[in-house]
Amino acid sequence: MKKIILGFTLFFGAHQTQAQESNLQLKGTVVDTVAQYVYLQKFHNKMFTTIDSVKVKDGSFSFKTKVKTPELYGLSVNTESSPLYVFLEKGPITVKLNPKKYYSSSVVEGSVSQDLFETYKKSKDVEISKFITENPKSIVSAYVLYRNWSYRLSPEKIRENIVLLDKSLQSTTYVKELKDLALVLDGLAVGKKAPDFTANDPNGKPIRFYENLKGYTLVDFWASWCGPCRRENPNIVKAYKEFHDKGFNIVGISLDKKKENWIKGIQDDNLTWLHVSDLLFWNSAVAKLYGIRAIPGNYLVDSNGIIVAKNLQGEELQATLKSLLAL
C-alpha cells in the first residue's frame, strides 16, 4: 500500500493547490435510486450544507456551480443522510452516484485529489507526518490532518504537522482551525483548570458547570446518533452506580441536533445524571470550548475544577476512580 501512495505522490508532487473559484465541469449518473434531485454540499466543521441542486434527467445530472477548488464537497440524493465525500477540482469530473451502503459503490473520475483520498482511506497504519511529507501540496493532506488526526495528536504534534504542509495550504480553513484547536488544547492539559460554561438542560433550565462541581466530575461528550458513544454508555452507567455515592458525578454534553432524539437517548441508556446541550451538533459551544473533535470524549475534573484525566473509557474509568477515591 505504501508503494501505491508513493505512486500518487510522484504524480501529485507538482500539483499546486492554491484554491481558486471556477465553474464546475461536473457530470454524472445516478444508479439504484429513484431520486429526482442531486444536491451539492459544502463541507465545514464535520458538517455539510447544501449550496446547489439539480434535477436528474434520464438518470444523469450536471453541475456548473462556481465554487472554490480544489476542495472537499458532498454529493447526495438525500440531504438528511451523509453524502458522498468528493474532492472537486478544476476540469472535467464524472461521478457514478450510488447511494446504497453510504455511497460506497460510487465512482469518481477526473480528480487527482479524490484518487489520493481513496488511496488514503484504503491504507493501513498511516503515519500522518509521512503522508503529509509525501503530499505537502495536496488539499487532502490538510483535510485528513484536520478531520482524522486532530483528536489523536497533542497540540505540539498538530503544530509540527502544520509546518509540513505547503505554504499554499496555510490559509485554508483546515489549517486555521487546527491552529485554533492547538491553542485551546494548550489550556486543557492534565493539571489545568477546566473552563466553566453554562448550557440548558432538557427542560430548558440554564446549568452552570462550576456550580455542580462535587468530588470528581466527568464532563462527558456524546450524542444519541453516535454508535461508539452508545456502546460506551453501559460502562459509564456501571461506574456511576458504583461510585456516585462515593463522590463521582457526571455532566453529559450532547452534540445532538434534535431534542427528542437527545431525550430518548438519555432514557433508553438510563443516563440518570445531569445533562445539557445547545443542540448545535458539531457547532456545540461547549465542545469547541473543550477542543472536542471526536466523540465519545471526556474530561475528569476534581472539586476545584482541575483536570485530572482525559478520555477515560471502559475499565480505565473505573480503575482511575478507585485510585482517586482511595477504594
pLDDT-derived band of residue 13, with 50, 70 and 90 as boundaries? very low
pLDDT-derived band of residue 60, with 50, 70 and 90 as boundaries? very high
Pick the more confident residue, 20 or 317.
317
On the question of pLDDT at 8 being above 60, the answer is no
pLDDT-derived band of residue 12, with 50, 70 and 90 as boundaries? very low
**Predicted TM-score (pTM) of this structure:** 0.89
Single out the residue of 89, 95, 122 nearest to residue 107, CA to CA: 95
On the question of pLDDT at 74 being above 80, the answer is yes
User: Is the preceding peptide bond at 99 cis, omega within 30 degrees of 0?
Assistant: no
On the question of pLDDT at 1 being above 70, the answer is no
Q: Do residues 165 and 159 make contact, with C-beta atoms less than 8 angstroms apart? A: no
Please tell me what DSSP assigns to residue 153. S
Helices (H), the chain: 2-12, 100-103, 112-122, 128-134, 139-144, 155-164, 173-186, 227-243, 259-268, 285-289, 315-324
pLDDT in tens, 137-152: 999 999 999 999 999 9
* Average pLDDT over the chain, rounded to an integer: 94
Give Rg (Cα) of the chain.
22
pLDDT in tens, 27-47: 999 999 999 999 999 999 999
pLDDT in tens, 83-119: 999 999 999 999 999 999 999 999 999 999 999 999 9
pLDDT in tens, 187-225: 999 999 999 999 999 999 999 999 999 999 999 999 999
pLDDT-derived band of residue 4, with 50, 70 and 90 as boundaries? very low
Alpha-carbon dihedral of residues 113, 85, 183, 198, nearest 10 degrees? 170
Q: Do residues 27 and 48 make contact, with C-beta atoms less than 8 angstroms apart? A: no
Per-residue confidence (pLDDT) for residue 3, from 0 to 100: 32
Per-residue confidence (pLDDT) for residue 17, from 0 to 100: 53
For the chain, which domains are there?
A: 2-117 (2.60.40), 124-186 (no CATH), 198-324 (3.40.30.10)
Per-residue confidence (pLDDT) for residue 30, from 0 to 100: 97
